[in-house]
Chain A
């Protein structure tokens, strides 16, 4: 970096732009192909659904289980969509 760098044209630090674009794209492509997904995920999802249904009536597709990378760590992400009016199972709540 010199003191006259501001006179030069052109985008700065395109490498980090490339890295960000690729990180997003490759994650999407891996998700789509089901790559890198631990093989216990479908079973985990099924059993979670059973447990949750003991308390709340949720759809079969209300549970989303996925893994992603956050820095060096693998993160298991669960998202459970409750119905609009959560209707607790009678006698439980």
Chain B
């Protein structure tokens, strides 16, 4: 059984592509056969985050328009045998993706015995975002502890429960997971950032992971190595925990408490 996982958020810049790349790598290094697809037609970026931008020959739209085979367009990851990337095209044609075309690609990946297909959604709630979520079995909703991101996530949760194949066919719900990114425990402790519990309560679902704000994320995208591979970074370890939880493991949240202050900074403010 192939499981389609959409990584979505509504709002841009919250970490969808970073998350898609790390989740895909995390699943692949547990031996799963994984394809990660960039649905952001016109603004291809997953290839950069995955570090395979020089190896893109054919893209998602080429496959949909039968200009190449799916095999030709899938870029095999250099580090993981069972991981493949399908890049978005740089075309400006918004209608380049079709529902039939996307379905055909997903069916072909299922026939090829992929365990997971990770669909990296574009921002917004236009066609690309709609097609990325339409065939999903599960959704990872990426959210920052910030008002506009939380509000947009709620819109996306509404769409997941009505505008997906599962919703339309009454075929069980899309399983929803909340992934909180750019979390800064010190600011939460100071009262100027919403906490995990706040966001969970507002949206009515539990987090599957909390990724702390981390210098490691920028360093990882700079070098084209998904941050989950940076085992020294908190963000990388938090992504690995999230992948484990997606696969059913129980793991306590880490990096969600502010470091304890010393005597000096408690008295004089730090």
Proximity bits, B111-153, A CB within 8 Å = 1, else 0? 0000000000000000000000000000000000011001100
Please, which residues of chain B bring their CB within 8 A of the CB of A8? 269
Q: In whole Å, how far is B130's beta carbon from the nearest beta carbon of chain A?
A: 16
Q: Given contacts A18-B147, A22-B147, is CB(A13)–CB(B191) below 8 Å?
A: yes
B202 at the interface (CB under 8 A from A): yes
Across the interface, which residues of B come within 8 angstroms of A3, CB to CB? 267-269
> Does residue B248 face the partner (Cβ distance < 8 Å to A)?
no
Given A22-B202, A23-B202, A25-B151: A15 touches B269 (CB 8 Å cut-off): no
Answer yes or no: B214 CB below 8 A from chain A CBs: no
Cβ of A61 < 8 Å from any Cβ of B? no
B18 on the interface (CB 8 Å rule)? Answer: no
Q: Could you say which residues of chain A place their CB within 8 Å of the CB of B267?
A: 2-3
One of B162, B192, B204 near A15 (C-beta < 8 A): B192
Chain B interface size, under 10 / 10 to 19 / 20 to 34 / 35 or more: 20 to 34
Question: Across the interface, do B194 and A15 meet the contact criterion of CB distance under 8 Å?
Answer: yes
Q: Contacts A2-B265, A30-B154, A33-B158 hold; do A15 and B195 have CB atoms under 8 A apart? A: yes
| Residue B266 CB within 8 A of the other chain | yes
For A69, list chain B residues within 8 Å (CB): 204
Interface residue A12 (Cβ < 8 Å from any Cβ of B): yes
Cβ of B27 to closest chain A Cβ, rounded Å: 31
Cβ–Cβ contact B150 & A15, under 8 A: no
**Is A79 on the interface with B (CB-CB < 8 A)?**
no
Chain A residues with CB under 8 A of B151? 22, 25-26, 29
- Nearest-neighbour CB distance to chain A for B105, whole angstroms, equals 30
Contact present for A2 and B191 (CB under 8 Å) = no
A40 at the interface (CB under 8 A from B): no
Which among A1, A19, A22 is the interface contact of B269 at CB below 8 angstroms? A1
Residues on B with C-beta less than 8 A from A18 are: 146-147, 194, 198
Q: How far is the CA of A1 from the CA of B150 in the complex (A)?
A: 28
Contact of A15 with B265 at beta-carbon distance under 8 Å, contacts A2-B270, A22-B147 already known = no
CB distance from B143 to the nearest CB of A (A): 11
Q: Which listed residue (B155, B191, B201) contacts A14, Cβ 8 A? A: B191
Which chain B residues lie closer than 8 Å to A2 at the CB level?
265-270
Q: Can you list 8 A-B pairs with a CB-CB distance of less than 8 A?
A: A8-B269, A12-B191, A15-B188, A18-B146, A18-B147, A19-B194, A29-B151, A29-B154
* B residues lining the A interface (CB < 8 Å): 146-147, 150-151, 154-155, 158, 161-162, 188, 191-195, 198, 201-204, 265-270
